[in-house]
Amino acid sequence: MNRNWKMVGLSALLVAAFVILREHLGHVLGALPYLLLVACPLLHLFHGHGGHAHHDHSTDDRKP
């Protein structure tokens, strides 16, 4: 796809997002607390828990 068409598409999306948010800002702000409540369990579900490695430390491989 040509770079010019990408810029045209991006510009159109930005204008559409601005118009939609401008017209429906009250609805969006009213739903924001509920969106945060829904986001919390979704983050816990899809986070992957990669930083919570559970290793068995009962056997110590270090030599004195």
Give the span between the Cα atoms of 25 and 4, in whole angstroms.
Answer: 31
Question: Which comes out higher in pLDDT, residue 1 or 52?
Answer: 1
Q: What is the pTM of this model?
A: 0.43
Q: What pLDDT does 58 receive?
A: 60
Q: What is the mean pLDDT of residues 5-24?
A: 94
Question: Which comes out higher in pLDDT, residue 52 or 20?
Answer: 20
12 pLDDT above the threshold of 70: yes
Helix residue spans in 24-60 (DSSP H): 25-46
Q: What pLDDT does 52 receive?
A: 55
- Kindly list the domain boundaries of the chain, sorted by start residue: 3-46
